Amino acid sequence: MASINLDIVTEYNAKVLESARAFGDMGVANVQAFIDKQVALNSSLLDAGLATQKEMAAAKTPADAVKSANALVQTWTDAVSGFMKDASESAAKARDELKVAVDDAAKLNTEYATKAYESCVAAVKKAAKKVA
Protein backbone atom coordinates (compact mmCIF):
# COMPACT_ATOMS: atom_id res chain seq x y z
CA MET A 1 0.00 0.00 0.00
CA ALA A 2 2.93 2.34 0.66
CA SER A 3 3.88 2.23 -3.03
CA ILE A 4 0.38 3.33 -4.04
CA ASN A 5 0.65 6.35 -1.73
CA LEU A 6 4.12 7.07 -3.13
CA ASP A 7 2.73 6.80 -6.67
CA ILE A 8 0.02 9.31 -5.80
CA VAL A 9 2.58 11.72 -4.33
CA THR A 10 4.88 11.31 -7.34
CA GLU A 11 2.02 11.86 -9.78
CA TYR A 12 0.79 14.86 -7.78
CA ASN A 13 4.26 16.42 -7.68
CA ALA A 14 4.63 15.98 -11.45
CA LYS A 15 1.29 17.71 -12.03
CA VAL A 16 2.18 20.52 -9.62
CA LEU A 17 5.47 21.10 -11.45
CA GLU A 18 3.65 21.10 -14.78
CA SER A 19 1.14 23.63 -13.44
CA ALA A 20 3.93 25.78 -11.99
CA ARG A 21 5.74 25.78 -15.34
CA ALA A 22 2.55 26.76 -17.17
CA PHE A 23 1.88 29.49 -14.60
CA GLY A 24 5.44 30.80 -14.98
CA ASP A 25 5.20 30.73 -18.78
CA MET A 26 1.94 32.67 -18.58
CA GLY A 27 3.55 35.32 -16.37
CA VAL A 28 6.57 35.65 -18.66
CA ALA A 29 4.34 35.94 -21.73
CA ASN A 30 2.23 38.66 -20.09
CA VAL A 31 5.29 40.65 -19.02
CA GLN A 32 6.89 40.27 -22.46
CA ALA A 33 3.70 41.45 -24.18
CA PHE A 34 3.55 44.50 -21.90
CA ILE A 35 7.20 45.35 -22.55
CA ASP A 36 6.72 44.97 -26.31
CA LYS A 37 3.70 47.29 -26.22
CA GLN A 38 5.59 49.82 -24.10
CA VAL A 39 8.53 49.80 -26.52
CA ALA A 40 6.17 50.23 -29.48
CA LEU A 41 4.43 53.14 -27.75
CA ASN A 42 7.70 54.87 -26.91
CA SER A 43 8.96 54.37 -30.45
CA SER A 44 5.73 55.77 -31.87
CA LEU A 45 5.87 58.82 -29.60
CA LEU A 46 9.50 59.50 -30.46
CA ASP A 47 8.89 59.13 -34.21
CA ALA A 48 5.93 61.51 -34.03
CA GLY A 49 7.99 64.00 -32.02
CA LEU A 50 10.87 63.93 -34.51
CA ALA A 51 8.53 64.33 -37.47
CA THR A 52 6.83 67.28 -35.78
CA GLN A 53 10.15 68.95 -35.02
CA LYS A 54 11.03 68.72 -38.72
CA GLU A 55 7.63 70.16 -39.66
CA MET A 56 8.01 72.99 -37.17
CA ALA A 57 11.51 73.78 -38.43
CA ALA A 58 10.22 73.87 -42.00
CA ALA A 59 7.08 75.91 -41.12
CA LYS A 60 6.76 79.15 -43.04
CA THR A 61 4.70 80.89 -40.35
CA PRO A 62 4.36 80.63 -36.58
CA ALA A 63 0.76 79.50 -37.13
CA ASP A 64 1.99 76.53 -39.19
CA ALA A 65 4.42 75.63 -36.40
CA VAL A 66 1.64 75.79 -33.80
CA LYS A 67 -0.58 73.66 -36.05
CA SER A 68 2.18 71.02 -36.19
CA ALA A 69 2.62 71.16 -32.39
CA ASN A 70 -1.14 70.75 -31.88
CA ALA A 71 -1.17 67.77 -34.23
CA LEU A 72 1.67 66.23 -32.20
CA VAL A 73 -0.25 66.63 -28.95
CA GLN A 74 -3.28 64.95 -30.55
CA THR A 75 -1.12 62.12 -31.91
CA TRP A 76 0.43 61.56 -28.49
CA THR A 77 -2.98 61.65 -26.82
CA ASP A 78 -4.37 59.10 -29.26
CA ALA A 79 -1.34 56.84 -28.90
CA VAL A 80 -1.37 56.88 -25.10
CA SER A 81 -5.15 56.40 -25.00
CA GLY A 82 -4.84 53.40 -27.31
CA PHE A 83 -2.03 52.01 -25.18
CA MET A 84 -4.05 52.39 -21.99
CA LYS A 85 -7.09 50.72 -23.56
CA ASP A 86 -4.95 47.85 -24.80
CA ALA A 87 -3.17 47.56 -21.45
CA SER A 88 -6.53 47.38 -19.64
CA GLU A 89 -7.74 44.65 -21.99
CA SER A 90 -4.48 42.73 -21.52
CA ALA A 91 -4.73 43.04 -17.74
CA ALA A 92 -8.31 41.71 -17.83
CA LYS A 93 -7.16 38.78 -19.99
CA ALA A 94 -4.26 38.06 -17.63
CA ARG A 95 -6.67 38.16 -14.67
CA ASP A 96 -8.95 35.65 -16.40
CA GLU A 97 -6.01 33.37 -17.22
CA LEU A 98 -4.82 33.58 -13.62
CA LYS A 99 -8.30 32.69 -12.35
CA VAL A 100 -8.33 29.61 -14.59
CA ALA A 101 -4.86 28.62 -13.35
CA VAL A 102 -5.88 29.01 -9.71
CA ASP A 103 -9.12 27.08 -10.30
CA ASP A 104 -7.13 24.30 -12.00
CA ALA A 105 -4.71 24.17 -9.06
CA ALA A 106 -7.62 23.93 -6.61
CA LYS A 107 -9.14 21.08 -8.64
CA LEU A 108 -5.78 19.33 -8.75
CA ASN A 109 -5.37 19.60 -4.98
CA THR A 110 -8.90 18.33 -4.39
CA GLU A 111 -8.41 15.42 -6.79
CA TYR A 112 -5.17 14.28 -5.22
CA ALA A 113 -6.33 14.86 -1.65
CA THR A 114 -9.28 12.62 -2.45
CA LYS A 115 -6.99 9.98 -3.98
CA ALA A 116 -4.70 10.09 -0.95
CA TYR A 117 -7.66 9.83 1.43
CA GLU A 118 -9.15 6.89 -0.46
CA SER A 119 -5.77 5.17 -0.55
CA CYS A 120 -5.39 5.60 3.21
CA VAL A 121 -8.91 4.30 3.84
CA ALA A 122 -8.16 1.25 1.70
CA ALA A 123 -4.92 0.64 3.61
CA VAL A 124 -6.71 0.90 6.96
CA LYS A 125 -9.45 -1.49 5.80
CA LYS A 126 -6.85 -3.97 4.56
CA ALA A 127 -4.93 -3.75 7.83
CA ALA A 128 -8.16 -4.18 9.81
CA LYS A 129 -8.97 -7.35 7.85
CA LYS A 130 -5.54 -8.76 8.64
CA VAL A 131 -6.02 -8.04 12.33
CA ALA A 132 -9.52 -9.52 12.44
User: For residue range 49-107, what is the model confidence (pLDDT) as tens digits?
Assistant: 999 999 999 999 999 999 999 999 999 999 999 999 999 998 899 899 889 888 988 88
CA distances from residue 127 to 17, 18, 48, 54, 94 in whole angstroms, order as listed: 33, 35, 78, 88, 49
Residue type at position 35:
I
User: For residue range 30-39, what is the model confidence (pLDDT) as tens digits?
Assistant: 899 999 999 9
User: For residue range 1-29, what is the model confidence (pLDDT) as tens digits?
Assistant: 455 567 888 888 888 888 888 888 988 99
